[in-house]
Amino acid sequence: MLDRLISWWFPVHRAKTEAERRALFRLRYRIYIEELGKRHVSGVDHGRGEVHDPEDDREDSMIFYTGPPEVPTGTMRADLYLPGKVPESFRARYSLDRFPELEVEPLSECTRLVLDFGVRGSMLALSMGISCYRYSAVERGARFGFSYAAPGLINRYAKFGMRPYAGRLLQTADGLRVPLIAVCSDTEFLHQVRSPLRFLVADAFGPGRHPPVDMVRFRDRIGDHVAPFKVNFRTVLRAIEPLFEAGQPLTEGVPRRAARLLARYGMLVMPKAGDLLLRRGLVDRELYVILEGEMEISRRGRIIARLGPGEPLGELALFTTPGRRTADVRALTPARLLVLRRLFVERLLNEDSKVGARFMVNIARIMASRMVGAMNQLESMEGGE
């Protein structure tokens, strides 16, 4: 089976010794703090150079890793919460008030996934996902799992069986994040996304095992149609069609056929008024385009600009190697945004070089216009002193 082949090629270990755990805490620190420059990570010990959570020490949590125990290349943690012992923070994070049926269920959470730079893009993360499924669903009987991700990573999480649902978007120190749910027995969805986890369902929910979930009971709350985040191609296509109307600077000279490319690689996110979308200083490579609503850009508490429909956000990440955000971006009103990963531009240039070049020229013009506006504002301020 595919799951066994992936596990064989990309072996995953369970951290059993204190030395293994410490090496994983140091790996987190190197990725979160030294590479990504995150300033709001919980559990940071700068003296030891570690990121160590209280959840790491729970009896019902398991930390997985890849690579040599002395120099691991990746890690992920699976937390299991038994009925009656689910923390309030977990309930709030994943909007469990919308799932009263889960009060009697053991629930799992996959978190703290980090990979060394040299192994990103490999199947190591998926292999760890297989290990988390075996621990949570096969061994411990959890039928529901949760996690959250940056908007641009949603499609990758589908391979873990994760998908959006009718939960509230999460306000984290890193900006807006999307809550995801996995119904571990939902073979139909796992086959749909061609996840290797589909081969493990029988081990956990076959004859004589744990009963599978009746998905009919949850159709009104699970899926793209009810989530504050949309990945369905037709839904995205309909939402971005106004971008191709006359007078839109982002798509000036770009043929309408490009709308299908944007819809294929794009996603929609709907923040509420007050939600923080981007935080200054973080490494984050998504490009956002406002479709509805108004967003406020600020730096060190000072408002730089207010942007509305048709305007791009985070465009500097397309042109700078680290992709570090230079300002905070917050929703002033309920909004609808198109999300495009940096990889989209590379694909666009490869698939249709003329369209890709025109798209990049338009973004460059918008950036130049904003720079001129900022310089004029600075000169005005200096003249008033």
* Contact status, residue 75 vs residue 112, Cβ threshold 8 Å: yes
CATH number at 2-218: 3.40.630.30
The tokens for 112 are 């703290």
Which residue ranges of the chain lie beneath pLDDT 50?
Answer: 385
Report the pLDDT value the prediction gives residue 281, as an integer from 0 to 100. Answer: 72
| CA–CA distance, 157 with 164 (Å, rounded to integer) | 10
Where along the chain do its domains lie? 2-218, 232-383
Tally of helices (H runs) and strands (E runs) in the chain: 11, 19
* Residues in contact with 7: Cβ distance below 8 Å, sequence separation at least 6, in sequence order: 127, 130, 131
Residue 1's CB is within 10 A of a number of other CB atoms, namely 10
Residue labelled with tokens 């191609």: 233
Report the pLDDT value the prediction gives residue 323, as an integer from 0 to 100. Answer: 58
Q: What is the pLDDT of residues 325-359, one digit of tens each?
A: 778 899 999 999 998 876 777 777 788 888 888 88
* Contact status, residue 148 vs residue 208, Cβ threshold 8 Å: no
Report the pLDDT value the prediction gives residue 261, as an integer from 0 to 100. Answer: 83
Parallel, antiparallel or unpaired: strands 144-149 and 107-115: parallel
Q: What is the pLDDT of residues 80-105, one digit of tens each?
A: 999 999 999 999 999 999 999 999 99
Name the CATH architecture for the domain at 232-383.
Answer: Sandwich (2.60)
Report the pLDDT value the prediction gives residue 121, as an integer from 0 to 100. Answer: 82
